Amino acid sequence: MKTGGYQTLTHLLSALRQWIIVTMIITGHTRCSPAYCLKQKTVDLLAECRFGFPKSLQEETELSLELVVSKNTTSVESELHTKRNDQRLNSHNRVMLENWRANLDLQVIVDEKACARYMAKYAAKGEPRSKLSVSSLQNDDQVSSAFKKAMI
């Protein structure tokens, strides 16, 4: 039996067991609470997790394309939805997680516009109690504006 580089099946099972434990402890968003992540956008809506948990299960990895029409341009935005079999785990890579041993929220960026938007959001990311809320940024104009405000 091939064991993927492990000396014995026992070593392989031990490594898998360790990976499962590390995955559940490090990347799991096991519950939501008002003190940490639950936010109520309007009075008439239920509070929602600002990180989007629990996440929808995804049987297959899919690429979604959306036509975006703004004042002067029309473009296509793409997003990769990776396969998901657990609603409470962050997206991660097993090899990266085994070596990093800290929280991972892996995102695959599939086009240059998404890459620019991702970097701008992180550069302008505010603390949860600051006036700047990254989660409210809906389009490129809002991201650009927030980025400029944060840099001034």
Cβ proximity to Zn ion, 2 vs 129, nearer residue: 129
Q: Shortest CA distance to 146 belongs to which of 121, 129, 117?
A: 121
Contact window for Zn ion (CB under 5 A) among 14-22, 42-50, 100-108, 137-145: 42-50
Segment 9-38, which members bind Zn ion (CB under 5 A)?
A: 32, 37
Contact window for Zn ion (CB under 5 A) among 2-10, 41-49, 63-71, 126-134: 41-49
Is residue 147 part of the contact set for Zn ion (CB under 5 A)? Answer: no
Cβ proximity to Zn ion, 16 vs 47, nearer residue: 47
Is residue 53 part of the contact set for Zn ion (CB under 5 A)? Answer: yes
CA dist list (Å): 57 to 23, 83, 88: 17, 8, 10
Cβ proximity to Zn ion, 37 vs 109, nearer residue: 37
CA dist list (Å): 91 to 10, 145, 152: 27, 29, 33
Give the number of residues in contact with Zn ion, rule: CB under 5 A: 4
Q: Shortest CA distance to 82 belongs to which of 45, 99, 54, 57?
A: 57
Binding mask 63-102 for Zn ion (x = CB under 5 A): ----------------------------------------
Q: Shortest CA distance to 66 belongs to which of 115, 139, 124?
A: 139
| Cβ-contact 143, 137 below 8 angstroms | yes
Considering the complex, what minimum distance in angstroms separates the CB of residue 32 from Zn ion? 3
What does the alpha-carbon distance between residue 152 and residue 129 come to, in Å, rounded to a whole number?
A: 19
Helix, coil or strand: residue 44: coil
Chain residues binding Zn ion by CB under 5 A are 32, 37, 49, 53
